[in-house]
Structure 1
Amino acid sequence: MTLNHKSSILQRYLRGSLVLQIAIGIICGVVLAYVSPNTALSASLLGDFFVKALKAIAPILVFLLVMASIANHKQAQQSHIRPVLVLYLFGTFVAALTAVVFSFVFPTQLHLVAPDLSQSAPQGVGEVLRTLVFKMVDNPVNALVQGNYVGILTWAIGFGLGLRHASEATKALLQHLATSVTSIVSVIIRLAPFGIFGLVASTIAETGFDALFGYSHLLAVLIGAMLFIAFVTNPLLVFWKIRRNPYPLVFKCLKESGVTAFFTRSSAANIPVNLDLCKRLDLDEDTYSVSIPLGATINMAGAAITITVLTLATVNTLGITLDFGTALLLSVIAAVSACGASGVAGGSLLLIPLACSLFNIPNEIAMQVVAVGFIIGVLQDSAETALNSSTDVLFTAAACLANEKAS
């Protein structure tokens, strides 16, 4: 095989559909586990490599993305951007709260290799808050080394606010650093088909096909919560703003924005589609030119659902007793952390360790949950992105139409 031919194969792989490649990896993993269980167990090396790579880059990714985002943030010049921001933030919180309700009604368990952590389970909101406060003031270097995501987030916000008055060159450097780390993450994500192949093969070889049924239940809970947000709570929020039937607008946004986002699996990549849709809806350009790119960063209802459902599934699997007050606190944390979700495919999964850390769940276990998320990500991440991106246009349109009606 010539060097040029090898290069051609590599280029075709890199340009190929990640969703299709992951699907092929899952199928191959299932087949290998069924045909040769012993070989499938050896394939766990690929899965372990993938998980460790994610675990290594995730703390740096969160730190740089949040710090650069805050440092480079500019105040919105149009005052009616605020209603859009309110819808973004409130909608994300409602999504996290909905995920809590779905998780309580349809409890899920995962197949994890984990010790019994019942002795370290938090006893209520007070203990969770105490843990949260002390993790916030952890040494920033130690937070990065230990993967303390609460501390990472806290220091990233602090440094970001401090650097808002820095020179443009410094801000540009921060953005370049964040972009470079995102590029590294993108490379790691391209390894997902191989990592997921190893994870699926070894998991089924160890636990049998019951693991897949467990994932099916988890996937049903995740997508069920997202559909509830798309067809129930989002229309209610839009009706509250425009005071008329919201469903024609809801269906148009899902059809023209959600469908493309489902296949691109990137809110950032779907920004041109959303801007064009806003133009055709005859919305205020000064509003949507700001709100659509901003929404691709902070309007993350789907990510909040993913973080909440997977975290509560982990809590349930480990036998941690959870009261609704603590779960409500989790929904707030999930909504806030979802706003820092990376723009790459599967970015919300990298924030699951942050939520898990509230319940004293070690990173080793949390990253296993991240791996589970990648296994179901063929549908989960596509549905999540479709919900996030279509909601950007929906809430922008609602705010603009309400503003026109008021004026």
Structure 2
Amino acid sequence: MFLFHPRVLQRLVRRHLGDDSPNLTIPPLGHYLMPREVLLIGLEDENPDALAIIEGLNLPDPVILMPMPSAQELAAAASEHWLRRYWGHRFEAEVARAWQAARADNQDHATFGARGLVRVIGERAFHEARMLLEQDRRVVLDLDDETLCRQWVGFVTYLRYFVPGARAYFFPAIRDWDRLDRWLKDSGLDLPPPRHGRRWPQLLSRSRPSGFDGAPDYEPELPLNLPFGRNDPDLADGANTILPLLAKPAPTFVGETRAGTSPNRMAAESDRMAAQIEARCREALRQASALTRKPGWPASVWRDLAERLTPAMDLLATLLDRWSARGDSAPPGWVPAARLHLFRHGVQAAFRAEMAGRYGAALRHLCMAAHRYRDMT
């Protein structure tokens, strides 16, 4: 596996797919599987010094290429975020490469290639898979069916371990996930279910960054009353511990009990604050839902400014929360207002992504909005 500057990676991918395609658009990919010989030829022009080193290595075929995050991106998020993101992309690429190697060794493309996948999930679901992977910029446009099948298998396996329970929400056209799991197992991709025991798949353990002690998964807020996940064995078997937002425990508020304040009065004050926060969140949700498809230029300018300021506001509010938790004073009054703005911004971003047909991005923004709701409570 090699890290490259994103621009260099795009040029290498373009060289692989064909320089004679002037309209070819290369999105910012999270990873790319490149044939070994193509990589070595491309490095002759891009970086001859690196080629002199790489030529002496026993490289697998294909080679995993990943983009290197910039210094600005590294500074905007915690190291844990980037390590988990790197782990997820690396695991997804390792699964896709193992899948390709198994098909080449067994020569069973008819059963476990694109045509076999279509027989399992149907033409409509296969078309949905292509559309979502392209819209979320996980693959280049107009991939051949076999390569798309390989990338989709890697992505679905990534979802199962890094966002457990969410795969049916990404691909609602798939109605029988149990049948798909049997097909993956028969193909040789026999991986243990997520969150069952402590045994991790070998590919998951091997791709884990050194020095990172966290788990691969996290718990997004999923609306479990929707029909998408009802036929997902991971949810049915209790492998996923996600609860809907309204099923979370009642909000609790951090702070010392003031001298002379009775427990009943503290409970009443807590209930009043919880009701006030819930009312403000409902109003923010209503405002965020009232989007227009063609906003005026003042709204567009304000939206762009808010998007640029959101990471800084989130970081500052988190730091103030930690500072207040160690002391006796409550956080400044603007911190809840900032949290509310971040919640509203997340919902708005989710609605815009849904309008654009980028449903995976919409789900991610909704998860972020749910986390910010918990920060307020």
Query: More relative contact order in 1 or in 2 (CA 8 Å, sep 6+)?
Result: 1
The higher radius of gyration belongs to 2
* TM-score relative to the length of structure 2: 0.23
Structure with bigger helix share is 1
* TM-score relative to the length of structure 1: 0.22
